[in-house]
Amino acid sequence: MSTMGRTVWRIPTRFRTLLFRAAADRPMSAGFTLVELLAVVGVIGVLIALLLPAIQAARETARRAACQSKLVQLGLALAQYEASHRALPPGTVNPTGPIRNQPDGYHMS
């Protein structure tokens, strides 16, 4: 059959009943089966399990970068202090003297 230069193919009736009988025999359902629901939950669980290590690695990288940045800032502060005072900052500020190097006690002078 040809319509305006196009060929339109029609399925004969005897084959049409064979092709669409399986769909017609099933009742229409408006929901999901338990197996489908469990499969979806399982797939989502596997995807989350695969994604968690990547998220943890990104967090660890961010922590490492923050720590390195703080160490750089500390080093710059020490260099600035040394440049302006011509000495490194004191390890302790104690009017009676430095902290004694003893293995026990509170290490106070």
Each residue's pLDDT tens digit, 14-35: 666 665 665 556 666 677 889 9
The verdict on pTM exceeding 0.75 is no
pLDDT of residue 35: 92
- CA dist 95 and 109 (Å) reads 10
| Distances in whole angstroms, Cα of residue 69 to Cα of each of 30, 63, 79, 83, 97 | 57, 10, 15, 21, 34
- CA dist 51 and 59 (Å) reads 13
pLDDT digit string, tens, across residues 83-97 = 998 888 877 666 676
- What tokens appear for 60 in the block? 């660890």
Q: Is the pLDDT of residue 102 over 90?
A: no
| Distances in whole angstroms, Cα of residue 46 to Cα of each of 43, 58, 59 | 5, 19, 21
